[in-house]
């Protein structure tokens, strides 16, 4: 299992941390700042789920007039982490 930290942009949440298992499952997702109830619920709902599926579901979700949201930023974080994870395994 590998731990990832992603610094968000254009959201109330400042940082997203999560673990990615060998079989690409998400674990221990946590958000720094943002809407605590909603973000805690997202973390609970996606625990142990397939990273690529969660990325697909959350990608493009916007918060009001903002071009992104905390969940959209999580999709960016997942994409970056899975690319890094795969590249690391190939080398």
Alpha-carbon gap, residue 32 to 34, rounded angstroms? 7
Spell out, as residue ranges, where the chain has pLDDT lower than 70. Answer: 85-91
Q: How high is the pLDDT of residue 83? A: 86
Walk me through the domains of the chain, giving residue ranges and CATH numbers: 2-90 (3.90.1010)
Look at residue 46 in the predicted model and tell me its pLDDT. 98
Cβ within 8 Å of residue 67, ≥6 positions away: 10
DSSP 3: E
pLDDT score for 84 = 79
How confident is the model at residue 14, as a pLDDT?
97
């Amino acid at each position: 299992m590998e731990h990832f930290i992603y610094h968000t942009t254009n959201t109330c949440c400042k940082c997203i941390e999560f673990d990615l298992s060998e079989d690409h499952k998400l674990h221990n997702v946590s958000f720094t700042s943002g809407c605590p109830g909603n973000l805690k619920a997202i973390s609970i709902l996606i625990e142990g789920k397939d990273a690529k599926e969660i990325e697909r579901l959350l990608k493009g979700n916007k918060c009001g007039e903002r071009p992104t949201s905390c969940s959209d930023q999580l999709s960016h974080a997942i994409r970056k982490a899975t690319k890094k994870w795969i590249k690391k395994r190939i080398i």
